[in-house]
Amino acid sequence: MHTDPEPLAVSFANTRSSSVRDRIGTFDEFRRWAQDWPALRPLAARLPADSLASLLERRDATQLVLHAVADGRKPPAAAFALATDSGLEAAPFRLRPAACGATLGRVPPFEAIHHIIARSAVDLLLSPQAAALRRCEGVGCRRVFASARANRRWCDTRVCGNRARVAAHARRHAQGTKPPTAG
């Protein structure tokens, strides 16, 4: 089953999908990830290479916040401020939506990217999707997703769902072939 498109804040948080997997671990990887987002695409192309560390800080904070919301916990205050504050500030530039992700005009790319991602986190938390936010049950998976289906368990049935099925099969097989215990 193919999963629905995710809000930007969810996709951003999910770039860290496990302790060993980081989709934006390098600056080039961040730029590639940004290609899927019409607002980010033209800005990422102009972003200075030393921007990565602060983007990763924002990503980790966003993930902490979304995990807390999905678990029904209060997000840590520092992470919440980092993930949302710049999305609440009035931007010193104007973002105009344009068909086909055309240029946003002359906006400072670093500030604009932080603003757009933070605003997406704010919009998500203010939307009905916040209540539908859940964590993937896959072992070691850090992804979150918003789903109206109460029985959805995996970020992606082809990845985490399949892995769980394989593990369950292996467990059954191990039980079935276990030598009988003495006594």
# residues contacting Zn ion (CB under 5 A): 6
Q: Which is nearer to Zn ion, 32 or 158 (CB)?
A: 158
CB-side exposure of 30: number of CA atoms within 13 Å?
24
Q: Which residue in 141, 144, 145, 152 binds Zn ion (CB under 5 A)?
A: 141
Least CB distance from residue 164 to Zn ion, whole Å? 9
- ∠ CA 126-131-136, nearest 5°, is 120
Helix ranges (DSSP H) in 35-89: 41-44, 52-71, 77-88
Q: Which is nearer to Zn ion, 66 or 136 (CB)?
A: 136
Q: Which residue in 13, 52, 146, 160 binds Zn ion (CB under 5 A)?
A: 160
Q: How many residues does the chain have?
A: 183
Q: Which residue in 124, 138, 146, 152 binds Zn ion (CB under 5 A)?
A: 138
Q: By CB under 5 A, is residue 142 in contact with Zn ion?
A: no
Q: By CB under 5 A, is residue 161 in contact with Zn ion?
A: no
Q: By CB under 5 A, is residue 134 in contact with Zn ion?
A: no
User: CA-CA distance, 75 to 22, in Å (whole number)?
Assistant: 22
Q: By CB under 5 A, is residue 143 in contact with Zn ion?
A: yes
Structure letter (DSSP) for residue 97: -
Least CB distance from residue 174 to Zn ion, whole Å? 24
Amino acid making up residue 134? R
Q: By CB under 5 A, is residue 136 in contact with Zn ion?
A: yes
Q: By CB under 5 A, is residue 155 in contact with Zn ion?
A: yes
Structure letter (DSSP) for residue 160: I
User: CA-CA distance, 126 to 121, in Å (whole number)?
Assistant: 9
User: CA-CA distance, 75 to 69, in Å (whole number)?
Assistant: 7
Window of 97-105, 107-115, 147-155, 167-175 that interacts with Zn ion by CB under 5 A: 147-155
Q: Provide the binding-site residues for Zn ion, judged by CB under 5 A.
A: 136, 138, 141, 143, 155, 160
